[in-house]
Structure formats: C-alpha cells, structure tokens
Amino acid sequence: MRKKRKQNRILILLLAFIIIVAFAFTFNLTNSRYIGQVTAEEEVLAVPIINLVKDDANAQNIFQNIKPGDTVTYDFSVSNFDGDKINEIELKYVLKPSIGNLPLKFTITDITNGVSNNIAMVNNNESEPITMEFGTKITRNYRLTAQWNASDNNIEYANASADFKLELQAEQVLE
C-alpha cells in the first residue's frame, strides 16, 4: 500500500512538472510571437544620421604645443549624410571642445559658404544647440579657435595635459 502511494506521488509530481514545463514553453513562444509582431502605426521611426568629420591627428599636432598668448584654429565639419543615406529627421546638436585643464577660451565659427557666423558658447565648453535640417545632403564647416590668455601663465599648466577632444551630441527634435 505504501509502495503504491509512493508511486502515485511520484507520478503526480512528474505530471505536474510536465504541465508546468509545457505551460512555460507555450507562454514563452506565444509571448515572443506577439512581441516580435509589434509595429508602429502612426509614428515611423527614422534613423538619424549626423557625422563629425575631423582630423584627430592634425588636431593633436595643433594643440600639443599651445602656450600662454597663443591662438590656434582647427577646421572641421558636420554633415547629415553617410554615402547615399541622408538624415530623415530634424536634429539639434551641440559641439563640445575640451583640452584637459588648460585655461583656453573657445569660439566656434560657422564658415560654410565663406560666410562667418559665430556660434554662441555656453560656459566656454559647449555650443548653443544648432539645428540640422533633413531630406537633403548638408555639410556645415566650422572653425574652432582656442585662445590662451598671456596672463594665464601659472606654473601649474607646465605639465598639464593637452589632449584635444571634440565631441558632438545630437538629439531628435520632437514637436
């Protein structure tokens, strides 16, 4: 009698285990099928394309030997295409130049088509947001000017890092 009860318990446990595994497997398949079939009806998401075209090796050479009283310039560009792929959404981007802890004053000038327009800087280390249109290929040319005031000649800058970095941060304009 005890042996039969023990066998029944084992069969019941085995059956319960099989039911749980089957349920979990079926739920997982069903759930993944519905997740895989999610589509956007009103908003179609486009892939943003924005490129910062720069010459890092040249930039390091330009900024490596900067000293108090110097003013150096560095040209770069920002485009909204990659080969034949053109950006399909309106973007705003911010340019962030930095060069270690040297006391440089940065200015960025838009020099596209030979016309110079200064870009407003926030806290000397990032530009105001700039709008990049979409639908046609656009390349904007910029000139970064870094000025080191001659009176900022403290000995603490003698061994300071002069590693130049130019960062572009972009986000989609939602309206």
What count of residues does the chain have?
A: 175
> 44 in a domain, yes or no?
no
DSSP H or E run through 130: strand 130-132
Of the candidates 100, 108, 141, 140, the residue with the CA atom closest to the CA atom of residue 124: 108
Same domain? For 123 and 148 the reply is yes
Same domain? For 33 and 59 the reply is no
Residue-level pLDDT at 36:
38
Region 113-125 average pLDDT: 85
What's the pLDDT band for 12 if we cut at 50, 70, 90?
confident
In this predicted model, what pLDDT tens digit does every residue of 140-163 receive, in sequence order? 999 999 999 888 888 887 777 677
pLDDT higher than 70, residue 133: yes
User: How far, in Å, CA of 49 to CA of 91, rounded?
Assistant: 9
Residue-level pLDDT at 1:
65
Residue-level pLDDT at 2:
67
What is the pTM for the complete model shown? 0.68
Same domain? For 58 and 86 the reply is yes
In this predicted model, what pLDDT tens digit does every residue of 18-47 receive, in sequence order? 887 666 656 555 544 334 343 444 444 566
pLDDT higher than 50, residue 124: yes
pLDDT higher than 80, residue 4: no
DSSP H or E run through 23: helix 2-36
Residue numbers of the domain that contains 151: 51-172
pLDDT higher than 60, residue 92: yes
CATH of the domain at 102: 2.60.40
Q: Which carries the bigger pLDDT value, residue 133 or residue 6? A: 133
Q: How many domains does one find in the chain?
A: 2
> 136 in a domain, yes or no?
yes
In terms of Cβ atoms closer than 10 Å to its own Cβ (0-12, 13-18, 19+), residue 108 is: buried
pLDDT higher than 60, residue 7: yes
Residue-level pLDDT at 44:
46
User: How far, in Å, CA of 174 to CA of 25, rounded?
Assistant: 41
Same domain? For 33 and 55 the reply is no
pLDDT higher than 70, residue 165: yes
